[in-house]
Structure 1
Amino acid sequence: MITFDQNAFLIISTASLIAISCGLLGVFMMLRKMSMTGDAISHAVLPGIVIGYFISGSQRGVEVIVGAGLLGILATLIIDFLRKKAKVQLDASIGITFTLLFAIGIILINLLAYKVDLDQECVLYGEIAYLPIDLWITDSGFSMGPRIIWLALLNLLLVGSFIFLLFKELKLTSFDEGFGMVMGIPAGAINLALMSMVSYTTVSSFDAVGAILVVALLVVPPATAFLWTKDIKSLIKLTIGIGIGISVLGYYLAFWADSSIAGMMVTVGGAVFLISAVLTSKKFKFRLGTQSNQEAFNS
């Protein structure tokens, strides 16, 4: 029988693994000013999920992951096309793309409603509280533990390897895409690879924690860390620490308040960001004031 402490460990561990994966990708998304692309992907993959579910008959089928991943990449290509070729502003490109694909997904659900037991809520919104009972059972009947934690571990391994192998290329193209192309780096391919990883991470994670928390973990920890440091390695380390802190504090506050775990984690993340914004702004003003006093003294 799983006890509260075991439940807490499983949920916090899984949320932390997802927070690290999302945070690592979110750093480079933020530097490219594309943080909300994750939100677009989380909605745009709905047609792929519906088609994959229709083919496999299961929400956990490989077809669902493949379909959602392909739609995520398609959404990325459409956003990139609208931004670069059609000269549409980035925020408008994101808004147009995810609303269009999400609407197509809803239409497909309505058209296939008599063939599949699927609705918008069940494919978009996970609940991390159910993680301890969502077990991976082998064909021989052996339990491998919660299914989602294995997906989170695999995702972290893939994301970590991706960042490690392409760190220099990601850094150069994130800060100055033109300079990266001059250096011979295929910026378009790097961007597509990054978006593909974001797509996979989003799809593999929101079944466990929900689309809202995935988007928050992509955006909030990197944005908070950026308030404190501009060095990219320190930014990555601080992002990871903030993501884990949000997971731990959010879980225990949710348990204490008897409320949504994912919702509380997002709330904690927002509170941490606002507190950091206030503290860093006061720190900046203090430095300016000290500098002005020193200049006045010297004169």
Structure 2
Amino acid sequence: MIAFWIILTGALVAITCGLLGCFLILRKMSMVGDAISHAVLPGIVIAFLLSGSRETLPMLLGAGATGMLATFLIEYFHRRANLQTDAAIGVTFTFLFAVGIILISVFAGKVDLDQDCVLYGEIAYVPIDLWVMDGGIILGPRPVYILSAMLLVVILFIKVGYKELKLTSFDPAFASALGISTALWHYLLMAAVSLTTVSSFESVGAILVIAFLIGPPATAYLLTHDLKHMLAITAVLGIFIAFAGYWMAYWLNASIAGCMAVVTGICFASVFVAQRIAKRKSSPAMPGEAIG
């Protein structure tokens, strides 16, 4: 049963992050997920200091606010300071993440958080983080309910805004001509990424969140040019990665989150190599060209 809860948690995180990651990949903004996953740290700390608890709602509000601030700063520096997007991302997330580290250091006696917890998480603890009702009724691991709710929100968001997200990802100019606000949907997407990131922190940590935001969508991107197929392949890959990553960790007696991230890389590398081999075999050799 322990394995079931861990694999389910990993799959929920992988699917939720992967679905949003598809649109980040298409917008050439995949590293924004990395920026937001680090930039939300000061928001989490401030929310804890103000509320005095690690309840989900204050954490989501604090992280969401800081994530939106990071998004705004990245866009501002990109448009007003004429910085390349990657430079704007680097400046923003390192600054905000450093602010979060300083806050943790200064308020070490008041903040029940640490850098290692935020960076790495520990999915192995999910089965013992139980949701207990009044009367002692145990409903199961609390993170599973939080992540399930977040997945439903993300699916609803994509379903309702599929047309707008697709058009603003593939052709922002055409979307603007149709009267679709590219800025609005950009910030809505970034808000969804922020909320998904912080809801996954406690279970898997930032490193695995980044891996799931980029790895499965990038792999799916190699396999199809249809957005709906890309979303479906990403979801299936997420489930496979959670399952294979857990059993790799069990076999190696290693970090579960680390093994899931490694499986993500293996999946991408396998598809990439297979495509290169298939392309090489399908390309006829030119006269005088050696076939190796």
TM-score by length of 2: 0.94
Map 1:132-151 to 2 at 5 A. 132-151=127-146
Q: Is the 8 A contact 1:53 1:61 kept in 2?
A: no
Which one-letter code corresponds to 1:11 in the other structure? Answer: I
Partner of 1:85 in structure 2? 80
Which whole-Å deviations, capped at 9, do the CAs of 1:228-265 have from their partners, x for residues lacking one?
11111111111111111111111111111111111001
Residues 59/33 of structure 1: CA separation in 2 closer, same or farther (3 Å cut): same
Which whole-Å deviations, capped at 9, do the CAs of 1:150-200 have from their partners, x for residues lacking one?
011101100000000000110111011111101111110000000000000
Which whole-Å deviations, capped at 9, do the CAs of 1:11-41 have from their partners, x for residues lacking one?
1111111111111101000000111111111
Which one-letter code corresponds to 2:206 in the other structure? Answer: A
Q: Is the 8 A contact 1:69 1:199 kept in 2?
A: yes
1:103 has 2:98 as partner: yes
Which whole-Å deviations, capped at 9, do the CAs of 1:208-231 have from their partners, x for residues lacking one?
011111100000001111111111
Q: Which secondary structure state, in structure 2, belongs to the residue aligned with residue 210 of structure 1?
A: helix
Partner of 1:157 in structure 2? 152
What is the aligned counterpart of 1:217 among 201, 206, 212? 212
Q: Which secondary structure state, in structure 1, belongs to the residue aligned with residue 29 of structure 2?
A: coil
Partner of 2:262 in structure 1? 267
Partner of 1:74 in structure 2? 69
What is the aligned counterpart of 2:277 among 276, 279, 282? 282
The number of equivalent residue pairs is 287
Q: What is the distance in 2 between the residues matched to 1:167 and 1:125? A: 32
Shift of 1:61: 4.9
What is the aligned counterpart of 1:46 among 10, 21, 41? 41
Q: What is the distance in 1 between the residues matched to 2:7 and 2:216? A: 16
Percent of residue pairs identical:
52
Which one-letter code corresponds to 2:218 in the other structure? Answer: A
Q: What is the distance in 1 between the residues matched to 2:163 and 2:220? A: 20
Q: Which secondary structure state, in structure 1, belongs to the residue aligned with residue 30 of structure 2?
A: coil
- Gaps (5+ residues) in structure 1? 1-5, 294-299
Map 1:164-179 to 2 at 5 A. 164-179=159-174
RMSD over aligned CA atoms reads 1.5
TM-score by length of 1: 0.92
1:239 has 2:241 as partner: no
- Gaps (5+ residues) in structure 2? 288-292
Which one-letter code corresponds to 2:263 in the other structure? Answer: V
Q: What is the distance in 2 between the residues matched to 1:251 and 1:242? A: 14
Shift of 1:115: 3.2
Which whole-Å deviations, capped at 9, do the CAs of 1:18-73 have from their partners, x for residues lacking one?
11111110100000011111111111111111111112222235222211111011
Q: Which secondary structure state, in structure 2, belongs to the residue aligned with residue 145 of structure 1?
A: strand
1:9 has 2:1 as partner: no
Q: What is the distance in 2 between the residues matched to 1:61 and 1:198? A: 16
Partner of 1:297 in structure 2? none
